[in-house]
Amino acid sequence: MTCLSDSFQRPINYLRISVTDRCNLRCVYCMPEEGIPFLNHAEILTFEEINRIIEVAAELGITKVRITGGEPLVRLGLTSLIRMITRIKTIEDIALTTNGILLAEKAAELKAAGLKRVNISIDTLRPERFQPITRCQYELGDVMAGIKAAEAAGLHPVKLNMVAMAGINDDEIIDFGRKTITDGWNVRFIELMPFTSDGQADARFLPVTEIKKRLDPLGKMEPYKHTVGVGPAKYFRFAGANGTVGFITPVTEHFCFNCNRMRLTSDGKLRPCLLSDKEIDLKQPLRHNISQEELKKLYMEAVKMKPRQHNMNEQTQVKRPMRQVGG
Ligand code: SAM
Ligand code: SF4
């Protein structure tokens, strides 16, 4: 197996796949509350199509796959996709990013199908804040049950993603930090990316330097190097904590210099960079019986299109919503 590198000698070994643009939540930073033009079923890739693309990507060096969305667990039969992927021998790691709502009922079957680990998004620990942030009929208790089920099923390490927002949940940063000490949680603080802004600076944006300051009362953090994963987070640990604190800084400190990933959108476009709208369509070729060799060429072309870096700031906009690209 060759591991393909892009034009800047970065080895590309990680593929993130959005399996649906639909979701059972409407998080304030991700989707409008209503009037969303969702793709219809025929427009999104079938599991067989996704699997063919992963087979080709695996021949070209992809060893790690993450399933995301939209909310991946609203796609029916997701377990069968996991099972298909586990048959590709060179894929070492299959992970899932989810809002956790449906995880309590699905964690065990996902694990049995070959899923290795999960990241769960949780932006508040206060039940009364859950609806204002997610604008849905579910409850914080559903996510907590999902976290417990993931731990019980052995989907380790369970990582918890918190998008920190000024005036919305920034007063809870310290509570999340404390959970790494009291409950062994692995919490990752994510800077808000300006995906749904109208080009104006987002007043909710909080730089990671500020997030770190809010954690000061918990004591000194030591860098932690042993976390499983291939993402851009930097990890730390408080003295005596079993859990870790991670920081993801897409806005204030981009991590493009060692970016190792490609993205597959729910409607079958290979996207070399989250923040660039350049894409290569694989769906039409797949539906016109393209050979594996030709598919390989398209994949290699997309890898070569990967830009050196993005220039996101608080006012960046991209055409595609996060739910189609996969966060
Ligand atoms: N629905 C799943 C979930 O919420 O985990 C997977 C898809 S979601 C798009 C993936 C991740 O992107 C989540 O952790 C979410 O919090 C994050 N995200 C979405 N919009 C974001 C934004 N504007 N800025 C920062 N993170 C964002
Ligand atoms: Fe849905 Fe995830 Fe977006 Fe929230 S962040 S609306 S859970 S896709």
Closest CA to ligand 1's atom 17? 327
What tokens appear for 15 in the block?
């593929």
- Ligand 2 neighbourhood includes 65 CB (under 6 angstroms): no
Backbone angles phi, psi at 64, to 5 degrees: -130, 135
**54 touches 88 (CB < 8 A):** yes
Side-by-side strand order, sheet with 93-98: 221-223, 234-238, 245-248, 186-191, 159-164, 117-121, 93-98, 64-68, 14-18, 261-264, 269-271, 280-281
Instruction: Please choose, from the candidates 116, 183, 101, 112, the residue with its C-alpha nearest in 3D space to the C-alpha of residue 155.
Output: 116
Q: In total, how many domains does the chain have? A: 1
Q: Torsion-angle region of residue 29: left (phi > 0), alpha (psi -120 to 50) or beta?
A: alpha
CA of 323, closest atom in ligand 1: 9
- In this structure, the dihedral spanned by the alpha carbons of residues 94, 55, 19 and 302, taken in order and rounded to 10 degrees, is 110
Q: What is the CATH number of the domain that holds 309?
A: 3.20.20.70
Domain extent at residue 103: 14-325
Distance in Å, CA 83 to ligand 1 centroid: 25
- The rounded distance, in Å, linking the Cα atoms of 219 and 272 is 39
Flag whether 9 is in a domain.
no
- DSSP, collapsed to helix, strand or coil, labels residue 209 as helix
How far apart are the CA of 294 and the centre of ligand 1, in A? 33
187 and 157 Cβ atoms separated by less than 8 Å: no
| pTM beyond cutoff 0.75 | yes
Q: What is the pLDDT of residue 246?
A: 97
228-244 confidence digits (pLDDT tens): 776 789 999 999 999 99
Q: Is residue 2 part of a domain?
A: no
To test the pocket of ligand 2, the residue of 71, 140, 266 to mutate (highest count of ligand atoms within 8 Å of its CB) is: 71
Distance CA 282, CA 8 (A): 24
Would you write out the chain's pLDDT as a tens digit for each of its 327 residues? 678 999 899 999 999 999 999 999 999 999 999 999 999 999 999 999 999 999 999 999 999 999 999 999 999 999 999 999 999 999 999 999 999 999 999 999 999 999 999 999 999 999 999 999 999 999 999 999 999 999 999 999 999 999 999 999 999 999 999 999 999 999 999 999 876 545 556 889 999 999 999 999 999 999 998 877 767 899 999 999 999 999 999 888 887 888 999 999 999 999 998 878 899 999 999 999 999 999 999 999 999 999 888 766 545 556 666 666 666
CA of 5 to the centre of ligand 2 (A): 31
Q: What is the rounded end-to-end Cα distance, in angstroms, of the chain?
A: 28
What is the CA 88 to chain-centroid distance, rounded? 22
Ligand at shortest distance from the CA of 196: 1
3-state secondary structure 132-155: HHHCCCCCHHHHHHHHHHHHHHCC
Q: Is the CB of residue 323 below 6 angstroms from any atom belonging to ligand 2?
A: yes
Helical ranges in 183-318 per DSSP H: 208-215, 283-287, 292-304
Q: How far is the CA of 142 from the centre of ligand 1 (A)?
A: 18
User: Which atom, in ligand 1's list, is nearest to the CA of 25?
Assistant: 1
Strands 14-18 and 245-248: unpaired
Q: Is residue 124 part of a domain?
A: yes
- Compute the distance between CA of residue 80 and CA of residue 118 in angstroms, rounded to an integer: 17
**Within a domain: residue 182?**
yes
* Residue 73 included in any domain: yes
Question: Quick one: pLDDT at residue 327?
Answer: 64
**Probe ligand 2: pick from 22, 25, 119, max atoms within 8 Å of CB?**
25
pLDDT for res 319: 61
- Nearest-atom index, ligand 2, CA of 69: 8
Of the bound ligands, which one is closest to the alpha carbon of residue 21? 2
From the CB of 70, is ligand 2 less than 6 Å away? yes
- Substitution site in 97, 98, 106, 274 for ligand 1 pocket (most atoms within 8 Å of beta carbon): 97
Confirm whether 228 is domain-assigned: yes
Using alpha carbons, select from 193, 250, 189 the residue that is nearest to residue 221.
189
Q: Given this model, what pLDDT does residue 314 score?
A: 47
Kindly state whether residue 3 falls inside one of the protein's structural domains. Answer: no
Per-residue pLDDT, 230: 66
Nearest atom in ligand 1 to 191's CA? 25
Cα 151 to averaged position of ligand 2 atoms, centre (Å): 21
In a domain, 240, yes or no: yes
Q: What is the pLDDT of residue 229?
A: 72
- The per-residue pLDDT for range 98-141, each reduced to its tens digit, is 999 999 999 999 999 999 999 999 999 999 999 999 999 999 99
Q: Of all protein residues, whose CA lies closest to atom 12 belonging to ligand 1?
A: 327
CA–centroid distance, residue 323 to ligand 2 (Å)? 7
Q: What is the pLDDT of residue 222?
A: 96
What SS3 string covers 151-206? Answer: HHHCCCCCEEEEEECCCCCHHHHHHHHHHHHHCCCEEEEEECCCCCCCCCCCCCCC
Pocket test for ligand 2, best of 74, 121, 123, 320 (most atoms within 8 A of CB): 121
